[in-house]
Amino acid sequence: MSKFKQLLATFWPLFMLFVPLTAMVVNQQLLVMLSDVVVGALTLCGCVACYQWIATKNVDRLPYRLATAAAMVASLLLIWANLTNELIEDSGVPFNQIIAVLLVVGLIGTTWSKQRPKGMAVTMLAMAGAMFIMTMGLAMCHADEIAHWPMMAIFCLTVVALYILASWLFERSSHLLAATTSHRQTRV
């Protein structure tokens, strides 16, 4: 992939930012600040850049790319939930810190596995498990303090499902990579 195509793919999501700006023009009650647009742009470009860094680095398999996309969507949802902080208003529950730790676990696991499919599968499974434990812990300890508990539970379980899907796809990619490697060795 040429550098121009990589830059175009990185900055293409910026056109999604015209949606809130258009909505703000149509609906005068909607207030979108410039800082919101800048943070949205940085988040979208960062996720696309991470996708390109992970998905195009080592493996040119469709399951690997789909797994990377599922993991990036789940992480993007977590980042946006962390930034908007609408899931748990100001109830004193450390949801934002837990999400930050979860994303650091993913970054460390991705770096540790060197983006190999088997290691990425373990990392995604660890992130899904940590998110599930966090959701259940919040349910047991703070469910009465959280105003929108059902919405938050559905959101968290959706993120868990995306990480499990990514883990399964990374595992599938590792099997395809192993089959391709063994096929090449038998031909030599």
Q: What is the pLDDT of residues 34-88, one digit of tens each?
A: 677 777 777 777 777 777 777 666 566 788 888 888 998 888 888 777 776 544 4
Distance from the Cα of residue 18 to its chain's centroid: 22
Q: Higher model confidence: residue 162 or residue 144?
A: 162
In a shared domain, residues 8 and 43: yes
Whether the per-residue pLDDT at 187 is higher than 60: the answer is no
Q: Which amino acid is at 65?
A: R
Is there a single domain that holds both residue 66 and residue 144? yes
> Does one domain contain both 50 and 98?
no
Integer Cα distance of 47 and 86 in angstroms? 21
Residues 80, 146, single domain; the answer is: yes
Angstrom distance (rounded) from CA 160 to CA 130: 9
Residue 142 and residue 83 share a domain: yes
- 3 and 84 part of one domain: no
143: nearest Cα among 102, 78, 93, 96: 93
Does one domain contain both 133 and 159?
yes
Q: Which of 10-24, 110-124, 143-157 has maximum average pLDDT?
A: 110-124
Give the span between the Cα atoms of 152 and 9, in whole angstroms: 32
pTM here is 0.73
Structure confidence at residue 125 (pLDDT): 94
- Same domain for 101 and 183, yes or no, is yes
Give pLDDT tens digits for 14-41: 666 666 666 666 666 666 666 777 777 7
- pLDDT of 87: 46
Average pLDDT, the chain: 76
How does residue 12 score in pLDDT terms, banded at 50, 70 and 90? Answer: low
DSSP letter at 13? G
- pLDDT at residue 124 tops 90: yes
Rounded Cα–Cα distance for residues 38 and 1 (Å): 27
Number of domains in the chain: 2
**pLDDT of the residue at 154:** 85
Among the candidates 56, 79, 101, a domain finishes at 56
Lowest mean pLDDT among 17-31, 121-135, 138-152: 17-31
* 88 and 36 belong to one structural domain: no
Range(s) of the domain holding residue 20: 1-56
Task: Give residue 164's pLDDT.
Answer: 96
